[in-house]
Amino acid sequence: MGTVVTVTDSTFADVVLGNDRPVVVDFWAEWCKPCVMISKSLVELAEEYGDRLVIAKLDADTNPEAVRTYGVMSMPTLLVFRKGEVVGSMVGARPKASLRKQIDDLI
């Protein structure tokens, strides 16, 4: 069963860049209402994808290095990584079906 993992600036390289599986990183913040809106969908998608994909959450307010490195300007921003490279991005809240379709297209 897939779960959403928490990633930080210090664990980003290991969890995201060094992962054999595709990784979707959710750049979020506690004050961000759209981030809260998609949170449940991301948990459900992590369960649906299981071992085929990793979904990681990164708190943008407490992890400025990754935010700066990847030029995240608004939240939520979801970046999709494959073999350590960004292969796609999604900015803003969207329905679960839309998230699933975009993730499917990228992995």
Query: What residues act catalytically?
Result: 32, 35
Of residues 102, 106, 84, the one with CA closest to residue 15: 84
Distance, CA of 7 to CA of 15 (rounded, Å): 7
Strands (E) across 15-64 are located at 23-28, 54-59
